[in-house]
Structure 1
């Protein structure tokens, strides 16, 4: 069996698989933000375990379930049994089967017939994708039990570990804020979500939430990243498996304009953390302590200037917390036992801390040079140890 341990804040989730493609993909998926390495020693594994079997002919396929949900666009039927165990199957073929034993914190994922390798080299099988996503959910549950909460936030870290958080919902400008500051020398800890927990020294610690960065084509172009992306894709590096083909085509041919789906949703490039480093030369951080908060908003008018907004409310509210049911990853197996947003005490402590940090509301414009000047100046005012000249010279 192939084995991989994932470590975040001293918590460990282990993946076992009869195919190396699963553990290899998990290493890529987590490696830049959570420590991903072979288990140390030969002692018995403690903590949550995901066991993945490809081509296990003993796995029953089909059957009816009492509940249904969509997990990362995958329809799944599942049943929670009186003894606490949960069984599930994907409702699209070839089906994957799941069995979760909460007493053992053990999730088994199986495919009855061996899944064919993806058509494009470097892309994961459905089994590898399921294993990494559910392993991440199991780690989320462990961190939540330890008092962490997951925030709608981007975060960059400066020398000394001091971090700047940008808070807000989808489209608020978190990605613009984080990638702009990362492109000027800060280390990127989070593009869209991160964990937070107060420590005994009165600081608010941060941990990354491993995920691809969803970046609009206009922002990639404004950051002068499109040429590097085009070069890598043209040499055969596969795009993210969920990236819309129209985005890949635009990147490959060098088109820079925004793409919008028929429903009006902006189509974005999906960039792995390791690609942020290899393609664009950005540094990544694995920890930090929040020192200040920005509350960005992208102004709708193309000609509107970017500026600090002194009239906008600065209070951070409970909307900053990520809860499982509002996202693409509902808690099918009850990993968090109904506490996907963190415990009430943890949420209250984090909110109190966020509202005691220096905070500034900002309106970002479509002028990237102006955004860069605004963000570096505000960073220096909110975190005096950070020099704007140092950032702009990076």
Structure 2
């Protein structure tokens, strides 16, 4: 797979791994078959499944939670790293930094695929997640930083970035613009890098979208989700069963946990197009720099360890998990030179759509032409 001119090769003894990687990354990053005689350029992820001996599990000195999965790991004097999940089925990892090779192994066997029709096996999920982390490391070393932002590309190439903390409305903004004719680049996080023209290049960060039931209904997307679920398609594995039940039965109200937190639908990247027909973008750059400083962007926009569900277990980013200090400073300066607006969105999606299209002339002109 290739993103921002960086390439990572994924190899496996089972097609369920490489097929899922293509499905997951394909909507946003370029994926293509790799020749069997070469590992390609850049890091290599090898996923082994079936009739082999998985590395023995040991008592590791360090523990972390990676995407809600408890993992034990050890960094050895030769800089290699071994790790394994602390739940069943056990998935083992061995990372060799000298050749940037991560081997992931499991003894799921063919029965795992049969038991999870339409869903990735744990081995496929692990390979995808860690391959994405290795791509993150490559992009960061190439000057990219990871923003906590959604992005939608307007007709003509201009891009709207929605910045803010969790729950501020980033996903609402991006999906509302996409439903109005823009191309969705990112629903929660995206990469940014200064370019020689003084603007920013952007790349998507493939990840599942978390969307409230109210927003799905307001954007007229819930009916499509219900049809696919009732046809037998499995929900995202981290989606709460109460959300799945509400989608299947057509419930429109918010679903909340015992603590009052809203539980949202989890949508894989490929489902954004296959289920909802939303156009996706693979790269973009804002068109111009402007000195209008209506709002000031701070370093809070960068993804930090406190927001991070994917800790750097293998040390592949040399301590710069979200970007180098220089790259972060340059991106922050450019963000504060771009035109910015602070908006308050409501539960009235028609009003949200009118406001956002008014603030984006390229999209407003398309809407007027369609009418």
- Tell me which interval the TM-score lies in, with the shorter structure as reference length: over 0.9
- 1:391 matched to 2:367? The reply is yes
Paired residue for 1:303?
none
After TM superposition, the structure 1 = structure 2 runs for residues 267-306 of structure 1, keeping only pairs within 5 Å, are 267-291=263-287
Paired residue for 1:3?
none
Of 212, 216, 225, 2:212 maps to 216
- 1:204 matched to 2:180? The reply is no
Paired residue for 1:129?
125
- 1:9 matched to 2:4? The reply is yes
- 1:244 matched to 2:240? The reply is yes
Question: Could you tell me how far apart the structure 1 residues matched to 2:174 and 2:26 are?
Answer: 20
Paired residue for 1:320?
301
**CA offset at residue 22 of structure 1?**
0.5
Paired residue for 1:29?
24
Question: Could you tell me how far apart the structure 1 residues matched to 2:258 and 2:8 are?
Answer: 40
Q: CA RMSD in A?
A: 2.0
**CA offset at residue 260 of structure 1?**
0.8
**CA offset at residue 268 of structure 1?**
0.8
- 1:367 matched to 2:348? The reply is yes
Q: Secondary structure at the match of 1:97?
A: strand
Kindly tell me: are residues 313 and 357 of structure 1, through their superposed partners in 2, closer, same or farther at Cα, counting changes over 3 Å?
Answer: closer
**How many residues were matched structurally?**
367
Paired residue for 1:376?
357
Kindly tell me: are residues 43 and 59 of structure 1, through their superposed partners in 2, closer, same or farther at Cα, counting changes over 3 Å?
Answer: closer
- 1:116 matched to 2:112? The reply is yes
Kindly tell me: are residues 56 and 150 of structure 1, through their superposed partners in 2, closer, same or farther at Cα, counting changes over 3 Å?
Answer: farther
Q: Secondary structure at the match of 1:231?
A: helix
**CA offset at residue 291 of structure 1?**
4.7
Question: Could you tell me how far apart the structure 2 residues matched to 1:153 and 1:23 are?
Answer: 29
Structure 1 gaps, min length 5: 1-5, 294-311, 381-385
Paired residue for 2:78?
83
Question: Could you tell me how far apart the structure 2 residues matched to 1:95 and 1:313 are?
Answer: 51
**CA offset at residue 292 of structure 1?**
8.3
CA contact (8 A) 1:173 1:364 kept: yes
Q: Secondary structure at the match of 2:277?
A: coil
Measured against aligned partners, the alpha-carbon deviations of 1:319-366 in whole angstroms (never above 9, x if no partner) come to: 111134531100000110100120111000000000000011111111
Q: Secondary structure at the match of 2:342?
A: strand
Of 250, 253, 257, 1:257 maps to 253
TM-score, normalised with respect to structure 2: 0.94
**CA offset at residue 181 of structure 1?**
0.6
Kindly tell me: are residues 93 and 120 of structure 1, through their superposed partners in 2, closer, same or farther at Cα, counting changes over 3 Å?
Answer: closer
Of 50, 53, 60, 2:55 maps to 60
Question: Could you tell me how far apart the structure 1 residues matched to 2:33 and 2:14 are?
Answer: 15
Kindly tell me: are residues 11 and 125 of structure 1, through their superposed partners in 2, closer, same or farther at Cα, counting changes over 3 Å?
Answer: same
CA contact (8 A) 2:230 2:248 kept: yes
Query: Bigger shift: 112-121 or 150-159?
Result: 112-121
TM-score, normalised with respect to structure 1: 0.89
